[in-house]
Amino acid sequence: MPKTFSKRKENVARFAIPIILFFTLASCITSVGPPSVRDDRGNYNEAIVRTNDEQLLLNLVRLRYRDSPLFLSVQNITSRYTLNRNGNARIPDLQNVADTTVLTFAGSVTESPTVVYTPVQGEQFIRELLSPIPPENIALLAQSGWSIERIFLLCVQAINELFNAPSASGPTPSLAPQFKEFGEFASALRDLQTSRSLEIAVSENGDAVLRLFPTNKIQDEVDRIRSVLEMDAESNELTFSRVRQLDGPWLRTRSPIGVMQFIAQSIKVPEEHYSSGIATATVDSNGDRFDWDEVTGRVVAILSSKEKPIDASLSIPYRGWWFSIPDSDLNSKTTFSLLSTLISMQSGRLQNTSVINTISLD
């Protein structure tokens, strides 16, 4: 084979391979859609969930300080991807073996997300936040596996003459509330629930119905429940009413904002905020500082610290302090999750209105 022809083949191969590689790589990055969904959807999902939780915690802290809460909803996220690519190649005269090839290529993908925020407000939203939780919603939660003790401590403020800190459903009261007997009652309900001797169901017309399944081992507990609920001695079923009646049981539930106020009482307020008068200090009948942990400690605790905690599941800064829920506090995290569910159940059908801001993140 002539030497010149051999050199020519060698040059062709030397120039052709990079060119083929260039166009192969360029074609590989033309499809950015599927990879972007796989990479970004989870990130957006995680960011929205986390910021929603932080917003809810912030509003709880605001309520404890008698500041106004505000809910902002992420109404829409639009993400646009732009693919840019360029390249050039210089093919020399194959007769000139000393010549060299210049081959360059480049590509980039640009993401331009647009986030639309809306305030969740209006008469209907306020009405839903202030309206008592329907008993059937309590039944639905109990049927889905939530502890009836946790549900009742959060959502119910009175059954007949048994009171569960009703004053905690509003701004922090100056005097300690009634709560001890109700706490014992809620604990008894939980014991019956775990032994499968009690259930709360939803009737065909949407009422909440409590049913007892007594056995000899739990007869005393069943009799106690019947007594508190003013049930007949042989009755094993009771329909709850939201309206106070002259005869029969009466169930008074909190509103979603009342549940938030109740949980807000669990916040460990810094002593300097009490002394400066920016947070209400509750006192007992003796004039001593009342510890709200006696009321809320079974379901939730929100801590405060001067420095940002490193082991928190959630933390937000407010008034120069950090308020947080430790990642290891499963009890408080469960209650926080239940609160989110309650708000969604009560106001999930509402439509957000009035775009407050549109941010393009270029």
Helix axes 148-155, 135-143, angle to 10 degrees: 150
**Which tokens hold the place of 95?**
């007769």
Q: Check: CB of residue 210 under 8 Å from CB of residue 198.
A: yes
For tokens 């001890």, the residue is: 180
CA 5 to chain centre: 73
Eight-state DSSP code of residue 267: B
Q: Where are the domains of the chain?
A: 3-119, 131-350
Q: What is the mean pLDDT of each run of 10 residues along the chain (362 residues)?
A: 51 54 52 61 79 93 93 73 59 55 58 70 73 88 92 92 92 94 92 90 81 85 85 83 61 92 96 95 94 95 96 95 97 95 72 45 48
Specify the pLDDT at position 5: 46
Residue 133 vs residues 39, 120, 254: alpha-carbon distances, Å: 39, 19, 6
Q: Check: CB of residue 115 under 8 Å from CB of residue 139.
A: no
CA dihedral 254→259→260→264, nearest 10 degrees, is 120
Nearest residue to 292 via CA among 104, 191, 153: 153
Specify the pLDDT at position 154: 96
User: What sections of 132-228 are H helices per DSSP?
Assistant: 135-143, 148-155, 180-194, 219-228
Exposure string for 284-322, b = 16+ CB within 10 A, e = fewer: eeeeeebebeebbebbbbbbbeeeebeebbbbbebbebb
Eight-state DSSP code of residue 246: S
What span, in angstroms and rounded, lies between the C-alpha atoms of 153 and 266?
13
What span, in angstroms and rounded, lies between the C-alpha atoms of 212 and 199?
7
Nearest residue to 45 via CA among 53, 34, 57, 33: 53
Q: Check: CB of residue 167 under 8 Å from CB of residue 283.
A: no
What span, in angstroms and rounded, lies between the C-alpha atoms of 253 and 339?
14
What span, in angstroms and rounded, lies between the C-alpha atoms of 201 and 159?
18
**Which tokens hold the place of 41?**
């959807």
Q: Check: CB of residue 80 under 8 Å from CB of residue 340.
A: no
Specify the pLDDT at position 349: 45
Q: Check: CB of residue 257 under 8 Å from CB of residue 56.
A: no
Q: State whether residue 192 is helix, strand or coil.
A: helix
